[in-house]
Amino acid sequence: MADQSSESLASYASAELDWDRTELLNLSDCVRAGLRSGNVFSSEVEKLSNFLEAALKDEEQKYPTLDFEIIEYARLDKLLSEILQFVDTMKVASLTPELHQLVDTVKVSNLTPELLLRFRVNGSQAKKLHRCWRHRFREYLFMMDQHRCAMMVEGGRLKDVSFNSSLDYDLGKWETKRLTGPVSEVEASLQFEPGHWWLNITCAERDGIVNSSLETPTKGCYGFTALPLLTGSEELIRQNTVRYVREGRTSEMHIPLMTQVGRKIRILRGHRLKSIFAPEAGLRYDGLYTIRQYGFKLDSNINKYRLELTLERAAGQAPFEYLRQVPRPSQMDDWALYGKLEGDKIKLLQGESSYLEWKLKQREEQISREEWLRSKLFRASFSRVGGGGELPDRRASAYEP
């Protein structure tokens, strides 16, 4: 390959290109995330240009080496689609000054004119590469998501997890076989790193970080207490320290944690949690936290108990700015497939009425979370103007919990 900087993506070996699919997936995720947030960096654009040039040269060979499996794994089809969509947006914006100003402000806040020009060239290359793949793979190129969904069930994120329509609890209708056999604490520490992500809590139960698909503190097969924060709300009260609040019956007050004050536990956060630290989708392991305070009392006004937990994030872990990037675009692809799969199963096993009810409930939850976040950021903006410590940007480092 002519460009040395592209050697991390592909290198010549035995007169053939040897593609690093892990690096390609990382490139795809980085560029897609950058296009969505407006934070695209020159290093990513350079790597993208090198990849597109190498891929087009590969298509000129009699037997191209960038095969279906690599394209599918690295989400390269989706990368091309989002590049083309971005370039089309730029073209439309150039025709309308008002829209151009809006796009400059919201979509491409840190793209220099040079990078924008490079992206236009990339767009032309992406369009040509997509035509090559469409000719080479034909209808299979458009069926990649169906194949990804089948792979996800057979040996991917939904391996050993099954849908059970008879289950009746708020967190889902998935189940898995219980894992048996204790594992040492050393092995437990190696098994999970902050940023580990699952589609749902049942997948986390399958892997052993928790021992139940319910929202309750448990010791998984690794003997370490883990608490999934799936509902309720959470507020930052000082640097690295949050207060978690939930309301419910006595059985929902996590009473076993009363004896864990002063100890470290694993904290997982779900997308339904009303928190600026909650992932956009699914369930994420956010690391070790020390329980500093535990308390609950009866709220006579609503006749419910109120639990308050003060949690302090342990030092020396991956910065939370890294965790905010999870789920990545490729993981969000799987989340979309998972949602469609779950909806299809509900429709098939429980009927159209149950499916519409499920869909409506999901929409209501999404609206509730969005309204909560808008309200939170609105209040934070006044706090900032008044000299408070909170910033109205969900990605701001000052929110480090």
pLDDT in tens, 222-243: 778 999 999 999 999 988 999 9
> What pLDDT was estimated at residue 323?
92
> What pLDDT was estimated at residue 186?
47
The β-bridge partners of 225 are 219
> What pLDDT was estimated at residue 46?
87
Q: How far is CA 342 from CA 13, 62, 86, 176, 348, in A?
A: 43, 42, 30, 15, 10
The β-bridge partners of 244 are 234, 309
The SS3 assignment for 357 reads: helix
Which residue ranges make up each domain of the chain? 4-142, 196-327
Give the chain's residues under pLDDT 70: 1-17, 91-112, 168-171, 178-190, 380-401
The β-bridge partners of 234 are 244
> Going by C-beta distance under 8 Å and a sequence separation of 6 or more, which residues neighbour residue 209?
191, 192, 196, 220, 222, 226, 266, 268, 285
> What pLDDT was estimated at residue 97?
55
Of the candidates 33, 56, 31, 35, the one whose C-alpha atom is nearest the C-alpha of residue 43 is 31
User: CB 239: neighbour CB atoms within 10 A?
Assistant: 12
Burial 153-191 (b: 16+ CB within 10 A, else e): beeebbeebebeeeeeeebebbbbeeeeeebeeeebeeb
Could you give the CA distance from residue 189 to residue 222 in angstroms, rounded to a whole number?
9
Q: Are 31 and 79 in contact (CB under 8 A)?
A: yes
Write out pLDDT tens, residues 83-141.
Answer: 998 888 776 655 555 545 544 444 455 566 777 778 788 889 999 999 999 999 999 98
The architecture that CATH gives domain 196-327 is Roll (2.30)
DSSP 112-131: -HHHHHHHHHHHHHHHHHHH
